[in-house]
Structure 1
Amino acid sequence: MKSYLMAGAALIALGSAPAFAQDAGTAGTQTPAADAQAAVPTDTAEAAPGDIVVTAQKRSERLQDVPVAVSVISGDALAAKGAVNLEGAQYLVPTLNFRKSGTAINQSLFLRGVGTSTFSIAGEPSISTVVDGVVYSRAGEAFSDLIDVDRIEVLRGPQGTLFGKNTSAGVINIVTKRPGKDFGGYLEGAYYFDNGNEYRVRGAIDLPFAEHIAARVTGFYGNYDGNIKNLAYDGKRVNGYDHWGVRGMIVADPTPDLTLTLIADYRKSDDNCCAEIIGTTPANLTASVLPDIRGNESRTVNQNLITHTDEKSWGASLQADWTLGTQTVTYIGSYREYDNTEIRDGDWLPQPYVQANELHDFGPQTSDTLTQELRITSPANQFFSYVLGAYYSRAYTERSFTRNDVACTLTPTPTVLTPCSTTGTTITRPTGTAVFGSTFKNFALFGQSTLNFTDRFRGIAGIRYTTDQLDVFHSRVTTLAGPGIQPSFGPFRGKTTNDNWSGKAGLQFDIVKQSTAYATYSRGYKGPAFNIFYNLTATGTNVIDPETADSYEAGLKNTLFGGKLVVNLAGYYAKYHNFQANNPDIVAGVLVTRFTNAGEISTRGAELDLLYQPIRDLSFNGGLAYTDAHIDQFKVPTNGVTTGVVPSGTQLPYAPKWKGLLSADYRIRTGGAVDFQLGAQGSYQSKQISQLDASAAIRQATTIRAYGLVDLSAGIVDADDRYRVTFQVKNLLDQSFASAITSGGPGGSYRYIIPREADRYFGVVGRVNF
Structure 2
Amino acid sequence: MKSETGDFGWTPARRPMGCVSFVALLAGSLIASSPASAQNQGAAPPEQAPPHATKTTVKKPNAKKPPVKTLRATRQATPAAPTNSAAAPAPAQLQAQASAAPVANAHVEDVVITATLLPEKAQKVPVAVTVVDGAQAAQANLNTINDITQLVPSLNFRDGASNKDQGLFIRGVGTVTTSPGAEPSVSTVVDGVALARPGQATLDLFDVERIEVLKGPQGTLFGKNASAGVVNVTTAQPTSEFRGYGDASWYSGGEKRFKAGVSGALVPGVVNGLLSVVGTDYDGNVANVYNGDKVNGSSHYGARAKFEITPQTSDLRALLTLDYLHTRETNPTGVVTSTNTTYPGGVITPNPTFASLLSPVVASSSNRSINANTFTHADDDNGGVSLQLDYALLGHTLTSITAYRFWKNEQFQDFDRTSNPANKQVVDHGTLDFNQVSEELRLASARGQFIEYVAGLYVLHSEDSETYRRTDTLGATTNTGFASYGVTNTNIAAFNENTINFTPVFRGIAGARVIGDDLGYRHERQSTAADTGIAVSSPYTTGHTFKTGYAARAGLEYDATDWATTYATYSHGYKGPAYNVFFNMVPATQGKVLAPETSNSFEIGAKTKLFDNRVLLNLAAFHTVFDNYQANFPNLIGGAVVTNLVNAGTVTSQGVEADFNAAVTDELSLKGAAAYTDAAITSTSVIGRNWPIKGGMVPFTPKWKANVRADYTLPWLEKYSVDFGTALRWQSKVQYDLSESPDTIQKAYGIWDADVTISDANAGLKVAFLVKNILNTSYATYLQSQGATAVPGTAGYVYRWVPRDDGRYFGVNIRKEF
Confirm or deny a common fold (TM above 0.5).
yes
The answer to whether the 8 A contact 2:53-2:132 is kept is: no
Q: Tell me the residue number matched to 1:416.
A: none
The alpha carbon displacement at 1:715 in A equals: 2.2
The alpha carbon displacement at 1:284 in A equals: 4.6
Runs of 4+ in structure 1 deviating by more than 6 angstroms, as ranges, are 22-25, 31-35
1-side partners of 2:54 and 2:366: how far apart?
Answer: 41
The alpha carbon displacement at 1:289 in A equals: 3.0
Paired residue type of 1:44: H
Give deviations 1:376-400, integer Å, cap 9, x for gaps: 0012311111000111001111101
The alpha carbon displacement at 1:293 in A equals: 3.0
Runs of 5+ unmatched residues, structure 1? 1-18, 408-419, 421-426, 586-591
2-side partners of 1:390 and 1:617: how far apart?
Answer: 48
The answer to whether the 8 A contact 2:299-2:327 is kept is: yes
2-side partners of 1:571 and 1:159: how far apart?
Answer: 16
Q: Tell me the residue number matched to 1:596.
A: 646
Equivalent residue pairs, number: 716
SS of the residue corresponding to residue 759 of structure 1 reads: coil
Q: Tell me the residue number matched to 2:532.
A: 483
CA change 1:318–1:190 in 2 (3 A) is: same
The answer to whether the 8 A contact 1:364-1:399 is kept is: yes
The answer to whether the 8 A contact 2:10-2:50 is kept is: no
Q: Tell me the residue number matched to 1:393.
A: 460
Give the counterpart of 2:435 among 368, 372, 387: 368
SS of the residue corresponding to residue 356 of structure 2 reads: helix
Q: Tell me the residue number matched to 1:423.
A: none
Give the counterpart of 1:227 among 257, 278, 285: 285
CA change 1:285–1:715 in 2 (3 A) is: same
Q: Tell me the residue number matched to 1:26.
A: 9
Mapping for residues 156-235 of structure 1, pairs under 5 Å:
156-193=215-252, 196-209=253-266, 210-233=268-291, 235=292
1-side partners of 2:764 and 2:206: how far apart?
Answer: 20
Paired residue type of 2:679: A
Give deviations 1:694-720, integer Å, cap 9, x for gaps: 5xxx2x111001111111111221141
The alpha carbon displacement at 1:487 in A equals: 1.6
2-side partners of 1:712 and 1:88: how far apart?
Answer: 16
1-side partners of 2:178 and 2:526: how far apart?
Answer: 20
SS of the residue corresponding to residue 258 of structure 2 reads: strand
The alpha carbon displacement at 1:583 in A equals: 4.5
Deviates more, 1:213-222 or 1:278-287: 278-287
The alpha carbon displacement at 1:258 in A equals: 1.3
SS of the residue corresponding to residue 287 of structure 1 reads: helix
2-side partners of 1:522 and 1:317: how far apart?
Answer: 30
The alpha carbon displacement at 1:80 in A equals: 2.9
SS of the residue corresponding to residue 532 of structure 1 reads: coil
Q: Tell me the residue number matched to 1:768.
A: 816
The answer to whether the 8 A contact 2:6-2:134 is kept is: no
CA change 1:476–1:326 in 2 (3 A) is: same
CA change 1:24–1:436 in 2 (3 A) is: closer
The answer to whether the 8 A contact 2:3-2:9 is kept is: no
2-side partners of 1:480 and 1:618: how far apart?
Answer: 67
1-side partners of 2:571 and 2:763: how far apart?
Answer: 45
2-side partners of 1:477 and 1:448: how far apart?
Answer: 50
Give deviations 1:203-224, integer Å, cap 9, x for gaps: 1111211123211100010000
2-side partners of 1:90 and 1:144: how far apart?
Answer: 14
Give the counterpart of 1:144 among 189, 203, 214: 203
Q: Tell me the residue number matched to 1:662.
A: 708
The answer to whether the 8 A contact 2:520-2:545 is kept is: yes
The answer to whether the 8 A contact 2:489-2:518 is kept is: yes
Mapping for residues 426-445 of structure 1, pairs under 5 Å:
427-445=476-494
Identity %: 37
Paired residue type of 1:162: L
Deviates more, 1:599-608 or 1:287-296: 287-296
Give the counterpart of 1:102 among 155, 158, 161: 161
Q: Tell me the residue number matched to 2:93.
A: none
CA change 1:330–1:762 in 2 (3 A) is: same
The alpha carbon displacement at 1:758 in A equals: 1.2
The answer to whether the 8 A contact 1:30-1:42 is kept is: no
Mapping for residues 461-540 of structure 1, pairs under 5 Å:
461-537=510-586, 538-540=588-590
Is the aligned partner of 1:278 residue 2:340?
no
The answer to whether the 8 A contact 2:53-2:111 is kept is: no
Q: Tell me the residue number matched to 2:60.
A: none
The alpha carbon displacement at 1:20 in A equals: 8.6
Is the aligned partner of 1:755 residue 2:812?
no
Q: Tell me the residue number matched to 1:577.
A: 627
Q: Tell me the residue number matched to 1:681.
A: 727
Q: Tell me the residue number matched to 2:401.
A: 332
2-side partners of 1:385 and 1:286: how far apart?
Answer: 65
The alpha carbon displacement at 1:278 in A equals: 1.2
CA change 1:67–1:30 in 2 (3 A) is: farther
The answer to whether the 8 A contact 1:51-1:563 is kept is: no
The answer to whether the 8 A contact 1:736-1:758 is kept is: yes
Give deviations 1:386-443, integer Å, cap 9, x for gaps: 0001110011111011111102xxxxxxxxxxxx3xxxxxx21000211001111100
Q: Tell me the residue number matched to 1:111.
A: 170
Q: Tell me the residue number matched to 1:405.
A: 472
The alpha carbon displacement at 1:619 in A equals: 2.8
Deviates more, 1:105-114 or 1:440-449: 105-114
Give deviations 1:605-639, integer Å, cap 9, x for gaps: 00001011346654321111111000101115xxx
The answer to whether the 8 A contact 2:209-2:234 is kept is: yes
CA change 1:23–1:577 in 2 (3 A) is: closer
Paired residue type of 1:623: A
Give deviations 1:273-321, integer Å, cap 9, x for gaps: 1341111125151211314434321011001112211011220000011
SS of the residue corresponding to residue 232 of structure 1 reads: coil
TM-score (norm 2): 0.84
Q: Tell me the residue number matched to 1:729.
A: 771
Runs of 5+ unmatched residues, structure 2? 29-45, 57-107, 341-350, 636-641, 788-793
Give deviations 1:547-569, integer Å, cap 9, x for gaps: 00000000011012343311000
The alpha carbon displacement at 1:124 in A equals: 1.2
Give the counterpart of 1:287 among 351, 355, 358: 355
Paired residue type of 1:436: Y
2-side partners of 1:714 and 1:20: how far apart?
Answer: 14
CA change 1:259–1:642 in 2 (3 A) is: closer
2-side partners of 1:53 and 1:32: how far apart?
Answer: 18
Q: Tell me the residue number matched to 1:710.
A: 752
CA change 1:712–1:178 in 2 (3 A) is: same
1-side partners of 2:664 and 2:308: how far apart?
Answer: 36
Q: Tell me the residue number matched to 2:63.
A: none
Is the aligned partner of 1:315 residue 2:362?
no
The answer to whether the 8 A contact 1:103-1:344 is kept is: no
2-side partners of 1:102 and 1:714: how far apart?
Answer: 34
The alpha carbon displacement at 1:739 in A equals: 1.0
SS of the residue corresponding to residue 289 of structure 1 reads: helix
* Higher RCO (C-alpha 8 Å, min separation 6): 1
SS of the residue corresponding to residue 254 of structure 1 reads: coil
Give deviations 1:624-661, integer Å, cap 9, x for gaps: 1111000101115xxxx764674322111111111111
SS of the residue corresponding to residue 629 of structure 2 reads: strand
